[in-house]
Structure 1
């Protein structure tokens, strides 16, 4: 008889919420102050590690620095900062190498923290209409090249495309026309069989 093992689910950690607008604003002000201090401390640490690498050709502290950063830190920006201002190269797989060809530019590095050197890109909202148009255009090109019929799929995409764009109506007309003139997929040409060569007559003895 098999024995059933009961697995106890982990209990999620309880967060004590901040109650009241005044208390929340106080917490936010504290976060802003402590965040600025932490940001400054990280910049000082980065510059110190950079100076150490330039002086001793020792990149081990770069690894320790990255490991010490909190998850919210944009570590790729830190890596780009090190590569630009010092003899550090980040290879594929996470390996860090000393690059003596790139001198330490400590003064410039101190004046340009990693968060200012490579600011976080602004979020660009997705343009649904343009995305659908791009996909439809690729499907239309595929139809011309291969003869495959994407009429049904294109019609479904255009049906969910945001309204108010005449391009969708025009594409529906073009799609219907293309479907009527769809060409069959390309087929390999058959190679005609070669007839066997006639055998030479056998000479008979006199």
Structure 2
């Protein structure tokens, strides 16, 4: 009998648990919206915390704003560096000009050799080019005196009047030399 009572009690509690509450469609939507809103808020809060820590860390690495004195100091330093570069460039131009002059080349070529790393090699090749150009531009006779143009004094004396006239027209210098 005791067993029966216990089973009856458990059945009653089960029946109470089994009671299902039915929701209207509107209530379901409200419950879902509330749950979605709750989860969205959790995610938003989590990401806003992460964003805040990241921004704080980023601000640590950002450069601080410079004072007016620091800005002026940087400007002066930049001006000095520019002047140093300019002086270095002028010194290099003078050294190149001196080397060109020693090699017998025009000093005006220095501006073309300014950016070259190995100036000595370039100056030597320029010297070679200029020397070859001098040789190429030297006098080159267009026609050499051939044997048919060279006439002896005896041959000239044996020539007739028309042959002497042709020689006079074609080679006046030779005619003048032979006629004396």
TM range (shorter): under 0.3
Structure (1 or 2) with the larger CA radius of gyration: 2
TM-score, structure 1 as length reference? 0.24
**Which structure: greater helix fraction?**
2
TM-score, structure 2 as length reference? 0.27
